[in-house]
Structure 1
Amino acid sequence: MERQFPYPLVLDGDYSPHLNRRLWLVKWLLVIPHVIVLFFLWIAFLGLSVAAFFTILVTGRCPRAIFDFNVGVLRWTWRVGYYSYSALGTDQYPPFTLADDPNYPARLSIERPQSLSRGLVLVKWRLLALPHYLIIGVFTGAAFAGYDQVRNHNAWAYGSGLIRLLVCIAALVLLFAGRYPRGVFDLVVGLNRWVFRVSAYAALMTDQYPPLRLDMGGHETHTADAPITIGPDPLPAG
Protein backbone atom coordinates (compact mmCIF):
# COMPACT_ATOMS: atom_id res chain seq x y z
CA MET A 1 0.00 0.00 0.00
CA GLU A 2 1.46 3.34 -1.05
CA ARG A 3 1.41 6.56 0.92
CA GLN A 4 3.03 9.95 0.57
CA PHE A 5 6.65 10.08 1.68
CA PRO A 6 6.77 12.05 4.94
CA TYR A 7 10.00 14.00 4.35
CA PRO A 8 9.28 17.77 4.57
CA LEU A 9 10.68 18.48 1.08
CA VAL A 10 8.60 17.14 -1.80
CA LEU A 11 10.12 17.25 -5.29
CA ASP A 12 8.11 16.12 -8.32
CA GLY A 13 8.56 16.02 -12.06
CA ASP A 14 6.02 14.88 -14.66
CA TYR A 15 7.36 12.38 -17.15
CA SER A 16 7.09 13.44 -20.80
CA PRO A 17 8.40 10.64 -23.04
CA HIS A 18 8.10 12.55 -26.29
CA LEU A 19 10.05 15.79 -26.30
CA ASN A 20 11.52 17.91 -29.06
CA ARG A 21 14.51 16.01 -30.41
CA ARG A 22 16.78 19.03 -30.85
CA LEU A 23 15.55 21.73 -28.49
CA TRP A 24 18.00 20.62 -25.82
CA LEU A 25 20.84 21.74 -28.09
CA VAL A 26 19.90 25.40 -27.54
CA LYS A 27 18.44 25.33 -24.03
CA TRP A 28 21.75 26.64 -22.68
CA LEU A 29 20.98 29.84 -24.57
CA LEU A 30 17.29 29.97 -23.64
CA VAL A 31 17.98 29.72 -19.88
CA ILE A 32 20.46 32.62 -19.78
CA PRO A 33 17.82 35.07 -18.43
CA HIS A 34 17.01 32.59 -15.65
CA VAL A 35 20.69 32.06 -14.85
CA ILE A 36 21.20 35.80 -14.44
CA VAL A 37 18.20 36.12 -12.11
CA LEU A 38 19.18 33.01 -10.13
CA PHE A 39 22.68 34.37 -9.62
CA PHE A 40 21.28 37.28 -7.61
CA LEU A 41 18.61 35.15 -5.95
CA TRP A 42 21.25 32.76 -4.63
CA ILE A 43 23.29 35.64 -3.24
CA ALA A 44 20.17 36.69 -1.35
CA PHE A 45 19.52 33.04 -0.38
CA LEU A 46 22.94 32.73 1.23
CA GLY A 47 22.63 36.05 3.04
CA LEU A 48 19.18 35.22 4.38
CA SER A 49 20.39 31.77 5.45
CA VAL A 50 22.99 33.48 7.63
CA ALA A 51 20.25 35.70 9.09
CA ALA A 52 18.10 32.62 9.68
CA PHE A 53 21.03 30.95 11.48
CA PHE A 54 21.21 33.66 14.12
CA THR A 55 17.44 33.99 14.40
CA ILE A 56 17.01 30.25 14.97
CA LEU A 57 19.89 30.27 17.45
CA VAL A 58 18.11 32.92 19.53
CA THR A 59 14.41 32.17 19.01
CA GLY A 60 14.23 28.59 17.73
CA ARG A 61 12.23 29.71 14.69
CA CYS A 62 12.95 30.65 11.10
CA PRO A 63 11.19 33.87 10.07
CA ARG A 64 8.32 33.15 7.72
CA ALA A 65 9.48 35.65 5.09
CA ILE A 66 12.98 34.16 4.95
CA PHE A 67 11.67 30.60 4.79
CA ASP A 68 9.21 31.38 1.99
CA PHE A 69 11.83 33.24 -0.02
CA ASN A 70 14.39 30.45 0.27
CA VAL A 71 11.81 27.84 -0.68
CA GLY A 72 11.02 29.95 -3.72
CA VAL A 73 14.70 30.05 -4.74
CA LEU A 74 14.97 26.26 -4.48
CA ARG A 75 11.71 25.89 -6.41
CA TRP A 76 12.89 28.24 -9.17
CA THR A 77 16.23 26.43 -9.35
CA TRP A 78 14.52 23.05 -9.71
CA ARG A 79 12.24 24.29 -12.49
CA VAL A 80 15.16 25.70 -14.47
CA GLY A 81 17.23 22.58 -13.87
CA TYR A 82 14.35 20.36 -14.89
CA TYR A 83 13.92 22.31 -18.12
CA SER A 84 17.66 22.40 -18.84
CA TYR A 85 20.60 20.17 -18.08
CA SER A 86 19.78 18.82 -14.65
CA ALA A 87 17.02 16.70 -16.13
CA LEU A 88 15.84 17.82 -19.62
CA GLY A 89 12.43 16.69 -18.42
CA THR A 90 10.24 19.21 -20.25
CA ASP A 91 10.12 21.64 -23.16
CA GLN A 92 7.78 23.99 -21.27
CA TYR A 93 9.68 27.19 -20.47
CA PRO A 94 9.98 27.89 -16.71
CA PRO A 95 8.02 30.81 -15.25
CA PHE A 96 9.82 33.76 -13.67
CA THR A 97 8.36 33.44 -10.20
CA LEU A 98 9.23 32.29 -6.70
CA ALA A 99 5.66 31.10 -6.17
CA ASP A 100 4.44 27.60 -6.75
CA ASP A 101 3.04 26.94 -10.23
CA PRO A 102 0.83 23.84 -10.07
CA ASN A 103 0.59 23.74 -13.86
CA TYR A 104 4.35 23.46 -14.40
CA PRO A 105 5.62 19.87 -14.71
CA ALA A 106 8.38 20.38 -12.10
CA ARG A 107 7.33 21.29 -8.56
CA LEU A 108 8.99 21.66 -5.17
CA SER A 109 7.53 22.40 -1.77
CA ILE A 110 8.80 22.30 1.82
CA GLU A 111 6.69 22.02 4.93
CA ARG A 112 7.57 24.87 7.28
CA PRO A 113 8.44 23.61 10.79
CA GLN A 114 6.80 25.23 13.78
CA SER A 115 10.16 25.33 15.55
CA LEU A 116 13.77 24.36 14.92
CA SER A 117 16.45 23.07 17.27
CA ARG A 118 18.84 25.74 18.48
CA GLY A 119 21.42 23.04 19.14
CA LEU A 120 21.27 21.40 15.73
CA VAL A 121 21.65 24.70 13.91
CA LEU A 122 25.27 24.77 15.06
CA VAL A 123 26.28 21.42 13.58
CA LYS A 124 23.88 20.08 11.00
CA TRP A 125 24.94 22.18 8.00
CA ARG A 126 28.66 21.36 8.29
CA LEU A 127 29.05 18.22 10.44
CA LEU A 128 25.91 16.11 10.28
CA ALA A 129 25.41 16.71 6.56
CA LEU A 130 29.01 15.75 5.71
CA PRO A 131 28.17 12.16 4.57
CA HIS A 132 25.56 13.62 2.21
CA TYR A 133 28.01 16.19 0.86
CA LEU A 134 30.35 13.38 -0.17
CA ILE A 135 27.53 11.50 -1.91
CA ILE A 136 25.93 14.39 -3.76
CA GLY A 137 29.39 15.58 -4.73
CA VAL A 138 29.50 12.52 -6.98
CA PHE A 139 26.01 13.29 -8.28
CA THR A 140 26.78 16.89 -9.16
CA GLY A 141 30.45 16.66 -10.05
CA ALA A 142 31.68 18.69 -7.09
CA ALA A 143 33.72 15.73 -5.84
CA PHE A 144 35.53 15.39 -9.16
CA ALA A 145 36.09 19.14 -9.36
CA GLY A 146 37.60 19.13 -5.88
CA TYR A 147 39.90 16.25 -6.79
CA ASP A 148 41.11 18.08 -9.90
CA GLN A 149 41.70 21.27 -7.90
CA VAL A 150 44.01 19.39 -5.52
CA ARG A 151 45.76 17.53 -8.33
CA ASN A 152 46.25 20.71 -10.36
CA HIS A 153 47.31 22.83 -7.38
CA ASN A 154 43.99 24.60 -6.92
CA ALA A 155 43.46 25.27 -10.62
CA TRP A 156 39.80 25.76 -11.58
CA ALA A 157 38.12 22.53 -12.61
CA TYR A 158 34.59 21.44 -13.30
CA GLY A 159 33.27 17.94 -12.84
CA SER A 160 30.37 16.70 -14.88
CA GLY A 161 28.95 14.36 -12.25
CA LEU A 162 26.57 11.43 -12.49
CA ILE A 163 23.49 13.58 -13.12
CA ARG A 164 25.02 15.35 -16.13
CA LEU A 165 26.28 12.03 -17.51
CA LEU A 166 22.81 10.48 -17.34
CA VAL A 167 21.21 13.59 -18.84
CA CYS A 168 23.73 13.45 -21.69
CA ILE A 169 22.75 9.82 -22.36
CA ALA A 170 19.06 10.78 -22.31
CA ALA A 171 19.73 13.66 -24.71
CA LEU A 172 21.45 11.39 -27.22
CA VAL A 173 18.64 8.84 -27.04
CA LEU A 174 16.14 11.65 -27.48
CA LEU A 175 18.04 12.98 -30.49
CA PHE A 176 18.12 9.67 -32.32
CA ALA A 177 15.08 7.81 -30.96
CA GLY A 178 12.72 10.71 -30.21
CA ARG A 179 11.89 9.63 -26.66
CA TYR A 180 13.21 10.04 -23.12
CA PRO A 181 14.11 6.65 -21.53
CA ARG A 182 11.85 6.17 -18.51
CA GLY A 183 14.47 4.38 -16.44
CA VAL A 184 16.98 7.17 -16.93
CA PHE A 185 14.32 9.77 -16.09
CA ASP A 186 13.40 8.06 -12.81
CA LEU A 187 17.05 7.85 -11.80
CA VAL A 188 17.81 11.47 -12.73
CA VAL A 189 14.85 12.82 -10.76
CA GLY A 190 15.80 10.63 -7.80
CA LEU A 191 19.34 11.98 -7.78
CA ASN A 192 18.08 15.57 -7.97
CA ARG A 193 15.64 14.84 -5.14
CA TRP A 194 18.53 13.73 -2.95
CA VAL A 195 20.49 16.90 -3.77
CA PHE A 196 17.59 19.22 -2.92
CA ARG A 197 16.78 17.40 0.33
CA VAL A 198 20.35 17.93 1.48
CA SER A 199 20.27 21.55 0.32
CA ALA A 200 17.15 22.24 2.39
CA TYR A 201 18.64 20.53 5.45
CA ALA A 202 21.94 22.41 5.15
CA ALA A 203 20.06 25.68 4.65
CA LEU A 204 18.42 25.18 8.07
CA MET A 205 14.92 24.70 6.66
CA THR A 206 14.23 21.45 8.50
CA ASP A 207 15.63 19.37 11.36
CA GLN A 208 14.62 16.07 9.78
CA TYR A 209 17.73 14.31 8.56
CA PRO A 210 17.68 13.46 4.83
CA PRO A 211 17.32 9.72 4.19
CA LEU A 212 20.45 7.97 2.98
CA ARG A 213 18.69 6.27 0.11
CA LEU A 214 17.69 6.93 -3.46
CA ASP A 215 13.95 7.53 -3.99
CA MET A 216 13.53 7.33 -7.74
CA GLY A 217 10.61 8.37 -9.94
CA GLY A 218 8.85 11.56 -10.85
CA HIS A 219 6.52 11.54 -7.84
CA GLU A 220 7.28 10.87 -4.20
CA THR A 221 5.53 7.72 -3.04
CA HIS A 222 6.95 4.75 -1.21
CA THR A 223 5.74 1.49 0.27
CA ALA A 224 5.10 0.89 3.92
CA ASP A 225 8.08 -1.47 4.13
CA ALA A 226 10.54 1.08 2.72
CA PRO A 227 13.98 1.25 4.38
CA ILE A 228 14.17 3.18 7.60
CA THR A 229 15.74 6.64 7.42
CA ILE A 230 19.31 6.65 8.68
CA GLY A 231 20.52 9.64 10.61
CA PRO A 232 20.53 11.39 13.98
CA ASP A 233 17.26 12.27 15.65
CA PRO A 234 16.52 16.00 15.98
CA LEU A 235 17.59 17.50 19.30
CA PRO A 236 14.86 19.02 21.47
CA ALA A 237 14.15 22.64 20.66
CA GLY A 238 16.22 24.90 22.87
Structure 2
Amino acid sequence: MNVLIIEDEELAVRKLTKLLQDVDPTLTIVGTTPSIRASVKWLEDNLPGQSSAPDLILMDIELADGQSFEIFEQTRVTAPVIFTTSYDEYALRAFKVNSIDYLLKPIKRQELEASLEKHRRISSGVAPETTPAVSIDALVQQLRQQIAPTDYRRRFLVRHLAQWVPIEVTDIAYFCSEDGVSLFRTRKNQKFSVDYTLDELDAMLDPAQFFRANRQFIVDIGSVQQIHPYFNNKLKLTLRPNPDEEVLVSRERATDFKKWMGK
Protein backbone atom coordinates (compact mmCIF):
# COMPACT_ATOMS: atom_id res chain seq x y z
CA MET A 1 0.00 0.00 0.00
CA ASN A 2 1.33 3.43 -1.00
CA VAL A 3 1.12 6.14 1.65
CA LEU A 4 1.53 9.91 1.21
CA ILE A 5 2.34 11.96 4.33
CA ILE A 6 1.30 15.62 4.32
CA GLU A 7 2.93 17.26 7.35
CA ASP A 8 4.99 20.44 7.80
CA GLU A 9 7.04 19.46 10.86
CA GLU A 10 10.13 17.40 10.01
CA LEU A 11 10.23 15.71 13.40
CA ALA A 12 6.57 14.70 13.05
CA VAL A 13 7.31 13.23 9.59
CA ARG A 14 10.18 11.16 11.00
CA LYS A 15 8.10 9.91 13.90
CA LEU A 16 5.09 9.05 11.76
CA THR A 17 7.27 7.31 9.15
CA LYS A 18 8.88 5.15 11.82
CA LEU A 19 5.52 4.37 13.42
CA LEU A 20 4.03 3.35 10.06
CA GLN A 21 7.00 1.11 9.30
CA ASP A 22 6.75 -0.50 12.75
CA VAL A 23 3.01 -1.09 12.39
CA ASP A 24 3.20 -2.44 8.82
CA PRO A 25 6.62 -2.97 7.16
CA THR A 26 4.89 -3.64 3.83
CA LEU A 27 3.75 -0.02 3.55
CA THR A 28 5.59 2.22 1.10
CA ILE A 29 5.97 5.94 1.84
CA VAL A 30 5.76 7.32 -1.69
CA GLY A 31 6.08 10.97 -0.70
CA THR A 32 6.05 13.63 2.01
CA THR A 33 4.88 17.19 1.42
CA PRO A 34 5.00 20.13 3.86
CA SER A 35 2.45 22.56 2.42
CA ILE A 36 -0.79 23.02 0.49
CA ARG A 37 1.07 24.15 -2.62
CA ALA A 38 3.55 21.27 -2.56
CA SER A 39 0.78 18.74 -1.87
CA VAL A 40 -1.36 19.93 -4.78
CA LYS A 41 1.62 19.71 -7.15
CA TRP A 42 2.57 16.26 -5.87
CA LEU A 43 -0.97 14.91 -6.30
CA GLU A 44 -1.22 16.33 -9.81
CA ASP A 45 2.13 14.72 -10.70
CA ASN A 46 1.10 11.32 -9.27
CA LEU A 47 -2.35 10.64 -10.67
CA PRO A 48 -4.51 7.55 -10.04
CA GLY A 49 -3.30 4.63 -12.13
CA GLN A 50 0.36 5.54 -11.80
CA SER A 51 2.60 3.27 -9.71
CA SER A 52 3.41 6.14 -7.34
CA ALA A 53 -0.23 7.16 -6.71
CA PRO A 54 -1.18 6.96 -3.02
CA ASP A 55 -3.63 4.40 -1.71
CA LEU A 56 -3.88 6.33 1.57
CA ILE A 57 -3.00 9.87 2.70
CA LEU A 58 -2.09 10.88 6.26
CA MET A 59 -2.74 14.61 6.35
CA ASP A 60 -2.05 17.18 9.05
CA ILE A 61 -4.80 19.81 9.11
CA GLU A 62 -2.68 22.82 10.05
CA LEU A 63 0.08 23.39 7.50
CA ALA A 64 2.56 26.24 7.16
CA ASP A 65 0.55 27.94 4.40
CA GLY A 66 -2.98 27.25 5.68
CA GLN A 67 -5.44 24.46 6.45
CA SER A 68 -5.08 21.31 4.40
CA PHE A 69 -8.79 21.39 3.51
CA GLU A 70 -7.73 23.84 0.79
CA ILE A 71 -5.98 20.98 -1.01
CA PHE A 72 -9.40 19.49 -1.83
CA GLU A 73 -10.51 22.82 -3.30
CA GLN A 74 -7.48 23.06 -5.60
CA THR A 75 -7.19 19.51 -6.91
CA ARG A 76 -9.01 16.19 -7.03
CA VAL A 77 -8.11 13.86 -4.16
CA THR A 78 -9.20 10.28 -4.82
CA ALA A 79 -7.31 8.46 -2.07
CA PRO A 80 -8.91 8.11 1.39
CA VAL A 81 -7.50 10.34 4.11
CA ILE A 82 -6.61 9.94 7.77
CA PHE A 83 -6.39 13.42 9.29
CA THR A 84 -3.90 14.18 12.08
CA THR A 85 -4.02 17.27 14.29
CA SER A 86 -3.94 18.58 17.84
CA TYR A 87 -7.27 20.36 17.52
CA ASP A 88 -10.68 18.68 17.64
CA GLU A 89 -12.47 21.73 16.22
CA TYR A 90 -11.95 20.39 12.69
CA ALA A 91 -13.46 16.93 13.31
CA LEU A 92 -16.83 17.49 11.65
CA ARG A 93 -15.35 19.20 8.61
CA ALA A 94 -12.69 16.49 8.27
CA PHE A 95 -15.29 13.78 7.78
CA LYS A 96 -16.77 15.60 4.78
CA VAL A 97 -13.64 15.31 2.65
CA ASN A 98 -12.60 11.71 1.97
CA SER A 99 -11.79 11.07 5.63
CA ILE A 100 -11.85 7.55 7.02
CA ASP A 101 -10.51 8.52 10.42
CA TYR A 102 -9.14 11.29 12.61
CA LEU A 103 -6.11 10.88 14.88
CA LEU A 104 -5.18 13.27 17.65
CA LYS A 105 -1.50 14.06 18.11
CA PRO A 106 0.66 12.64 19.57
CA ILE A 107 -0.39 9.63 17.52
CA LYS A 108 -0.46 6.34 19.41
CA ARG A 109 0.52 3.05 17.78
CA GLN A 110 -2.71 1.29 18.75
CA GLU A 111 -4.87 4.06 17.27
CA LEU A 112 -2.85 4.12 14.04
CA GLU A 113 -3.17 0.33 13.74
CA ALA A 114 -6.96 0.65 14.17
CA SER A 115 -7.14 3.35 11.47
CA LEU A 116 -5.12 1.28 9.01
CA GLU A 117 -7.32 -1.75 9.70
CA LYS A 118 -10.40 0.41 9.11
CA HIS A 119 -8.94 1.48 5.76
CA ARG A 120 -8.35 -2.15 4.78
CA ARG A 121 -11.95 -3.10 5.66
CA ILE A 122 -13.34 -0.19 3.64
CA SER A 123 -11.07 -0.98 0.67
CA SER A 124 -12.20 -4.62 0.68
CA GLY A 125 -15.87 -3.62 0.84
CA VAL A 126 -16.39 -5.07 4.34
CA ALA A 127 -17.19 -1.68 5.91
CA PRO A 128 -19.25 1.24 4.57
CA GLU A 129 -17.34 4.15 3.08
CA THR A 130 -19.21 6.77 5.08
CA THR A 131 -19.21 7.27 8.82
CA PRO A 132 -22.61 7.70 10.53
CA ALA A 133 -23.24 11.07 12.17
CA VAL A 134 -23.61 9.46 15.58
CA SER A 135 -20.05 8.12 15.28
CA ILE A 136 -18.75 11.60 14.44
CA ASP A 137 -20.45 13.06 17.52
CA ALA A 138 -18.93 10.35 19.68
CA LEU A 139 -15.52 10.98 18.14
CA VAL A 140 -15.68 14.72 18.84
CA GLN A 141 -16.53 14.02 22.49
CA GLN A 142 -13.64 11.59 22.75
CA LEU A 143 -11.22 14.08 21.20
CA ARG A 144 -12.30 16.81 23.60
CA GLN A 145 -11.58 14.53 26.54
CA GLN A 146 -8.14 13.71 25.15
CA ILE A 147 -7.21 17.30 24.35
CA ALA A 148 -8.01 18.50 27.88
CA PRO A 149 -5.87 16.26 30.12
CA THR A 150 -6.32 16.57 33.86
CA ASP A 151 -2.59 16.77 34.48
CA TYR A 152 -0.48 19.02 32.26
CA ARG A 153 3.27 18.66 31.82
CA ARG A 154 5.17 20.07 34.79
CA ARG A 155 8.82 19.60 33.79
CA PHE A 156 11.13 18.42 31.01
CA LEU A 157 14.31 16.38 31.35
CA VAL A 158 16.91 17.80 28.97
CA ARG A 159 20.52 17.08 28.10
CA HIS A 160 23.04 19.69 29.28
CA LEU A 161 26.73 19.02 28.66
CA ALA A 162 27.37 15.52 30.09
CA GLN A 163 24.28 15.27 32.26
CA TRP A 164 20.48 15.33 32.30
CA VAL A 165 18.82 18.34 33.92
CA PRO A 166 15.15 18.75 34.93
CA ILE A 167 13.62 22.10 33.86
CA GLU A 168 10.32 23.18 35.40
CA VAL A 169 7.68 24.33 32.93
CA THR A 170 7.21 27.46 35.04
CA ASP A 171 10.80 28.42 34.14
CA ILE A 172 10.16 28.26 30.37
CA ALA A 173 9.49 31.48 28.44
CA TYR A 174 8.57 29.95 25.09
CA PHE A 175 8.94 26.96 22.78
CA CYS A 176 9.97 27.35 19.15
CA SER A 177 10.94 25.37 16.07
CA GLU A 178 14.26 25.96 14.33
CA ASP A 179 15.33 23.97 11.27
CA GLY A 180 12.96 21.14 12.15
CA VAL A 181 14.11 20.91 15.78
CA SER A 182 11.89 21.84 18.73
CA LEU A 183 13.53 24.03 21.37
CA PHE A 184 12.58 26.00 24.43
CA ARG A 185 14.18 29.03 26.03
CA THR A 186 14.11 29.59 29.77
CA ARG A 187 13.54 32.88 31.55
CA LYS A 188 17.31 32.88 32.25
CA ASN A 189 17.90 32.76 28.48
CA GLN A 190 19.09 29.14 28.35
CA LYS A 191 18.16 27.16 25.24
CA PHE A 192 17.44 23.41 25.21
CA SER A 193 16.14 20.99 22.58
CA VAL A 194 13.25 18.58 23.22
CA ASP A 195 12.20 15.45 21.35
CA TYR A 196 8.61 16.57 20.72
CA THR A 197 6.97 18.42 17.87
CA LEU A 198 5.25 21.73 18.63
CA ASP A 199 1.90 20.03 18.02
CA GLU A 200 2.73 17.45 20.68
CA LEU A 201 3.94 20.14 23.08
CA ASP A 202 0.80 22.19 22.49
CA ALA A 203 -1.31 19.21 23.60
CA MET A 204 0.64 18.66 26.84
CA LEU A 205 0.93 22.28 28.05
CA ASP A 206 -1.63 24.15 30.17
CA PRO A 207 -3.60 26.39 27.76
CA ALA A 208 -4.12 28.93 30.55
CA GLN A 209 -0.34 29.38 30.67
CA PHE A 210 0.80 28.77 27.07
CA PHE A 211 -0.55 29.94 23.71
CA ARG A 212 0.26 28.71 20.20
CA ALA A 213 1.06 32.02 18.54
CA ASN A 214 1.87 30.46 15.16
CA ARG A 215 3.42 27.33 13.64
CA GLN A 216 6.85 28.23 15.06
CA PHE A 217 6.11 29.54 18.57
CA ILE A 218 4.28 28.57 21.76
CA VAL A 219 4.58 31.43 24.26
CA ASP A 220 4.21 31.58 28.02
CA ILE A 221 1.90 34.33 29.21
CA GLY A 222 4.59 35.78 31.47
CA SER A 223 7.05 36.16 28.59
CA VAL A 224 4.83 38.59 26.65
CA GLN A 225 6.07 42.12 27.31
CA GLN A 226 4.39 44.10 24.54
CA ILE A 227 1.77 43.54 21.83
CA HIS A 228 1.90 45.63 18.66
CA PRO A 229 -0.63 45.87 15.78
CA TYR A 230 0.84 44.48 12.56
CA PHE A 231 -0.04 44.21 8.86
CA ASN A 232 -3.20 42.32 7.83
CA ASN A 233 -4.59 42.36 11.39
CA LYS A 234 -1.73 40.30 12.76
CA LEU A 235 -0.07 40.99 16.10
CA LYS A 236 3.65 41.38 16.73
CA LEU A 237 4.91 40.25 20.14
CA THR A 238 7.83 41.47 22.20
CA LEU A 239 9.00 38.58 24.35
CA ARG A 240 11.48 38.28 27.18
CA PRO A 241 14.08 36.87 26.59
CA ASN A 242 14.23 38.29 23.09
CA PRO A 243 13.83 35.51 20.48
CA ASP A 244 16.10 35.11 17.47
CA GLU A 245 13.28 35.90 15.04
CA GLU A 246 10.12 37.98 14.84
CA VAL A 247 7.07 36.49 16.61
CA LEU A 248 3.72 37.18 14.94
CA VAL A 249 0.24 36.04 15.93
CA SER A 250 -1.72 35.16 12.82
CA ARG A 251 -4.86 37.11 11.90
CA GLU A 252 -6.97 34.01 12.58
CA ARG A 253 -5.56 33.63 16.11
CA ALA A 254 -5.35 37.31 17.08
CA THR A 255 -8.79 37.50 18.69
CA ASP A 256 -8.21 34.33 20.72
CA PHE A 257 -4.80 35.63 21.77
CA LYS A 258 -6.24 38.90 23.08
CA LYS A 259 -8.91 36.99 25.00
CA TRP A 260 -6.21 34.71 26.45
CA MET A 261 -4.05 37.66 27.54
CA GLY A 262 -7.05 39.43 29.07
CA LYS A 263 -8.26 36.60 31.30
Question: Which structure has more strand as a fraction of its residues?
Answer: 2
Higher relative contact order (CA 8 A, sep 6+): 1
Q: Same fold (TM over 0.5)?
A: no
TM-score, normalised relative to structure 2: 0.23
Question: Which structure has more helix as a fraction of its residues?
Answer: 1
Structure showing greater radius of gyration is 2
